[in-house]
């Protein structure tokens, strides 16, 4: 049993390392063509709520998703414990956490239907769903 778990962890780790670049994406009708890291951090930490006078809906993957860990570390520059503590405090101030989805495909479907939403997915998923790529993470 331990061997199978070890093999599964190694396989998933290698698959994760070979994944497409992480992108911040939106639907095709999103009113902005690019977004910078400071804006992304502001939106995902509840410090910035609007772009071009439109309220933004940020989307997150589940807490155990490897892409979420990559996003939090490489883009937000925080670990999940720090962010969880931040959002616990922000909740008491009336701020809402980003919506959470189980898969990149469900994020992509939501992005394609709701114009003022942004989320992170692998570039391949963004292209498959014809999403507008606002930002590409550097590997």
| pLDDT tier for residue 16 given thresholds of 50, 70 and 90 | very low
Beta strands 132-136; 22-26: pairing state? antiparallel
Say what the pLDDT of residue 3 is. Answer: 56
Q: Is the pLDDT of residue 117 over 60?
A: yes
Is 13 in contact with 36 (CB distance < 8 Å)? no
Mean pLDDT of 102-112: 98
Q: Which domains does the chain have, with CATH numbers?
A: 20-136 (3.40.190.10)
Between residues 69 and 95, the one the model is more confident about:
69
Structure tokens at 40: 């992304």
Sign of CA dihedral 19, 21, 25, 28: negative
Calculate the average pLDDT of the chain: 85
Share of residues in the chain with pLDDT > 90 (%): 60
């Amino acid at each position: 049993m331990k061997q199978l778990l070890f093999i599964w962890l190694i396989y998933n780790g290698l698959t994760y390392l070979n994944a497409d670049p992480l992108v911040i994406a939106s639907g095709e009708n999103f009113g902005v063509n690019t977004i910078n890291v400071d804006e992304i951090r502001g939106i995902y930490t509840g410090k910035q709520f609007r772009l071009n006078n439109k309220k933004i809906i940020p989307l997150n993957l589940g807490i155990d998703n490897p892409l979420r860990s990559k996003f939090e570390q490489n883009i937000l520059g925080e670990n999940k414990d720090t962010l969880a503590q931040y959002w616990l405090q922000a909740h008491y101030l009336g701020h809402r956490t980003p919506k959470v989805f189980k898969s990149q495909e469900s994020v992509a479907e939501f992005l394609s239907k709701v114009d003022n939403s942004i989320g992170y997915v692998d570039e391949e998923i963004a292209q498959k769903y014809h999403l507008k790529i606002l930002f590409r993470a550097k590997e």
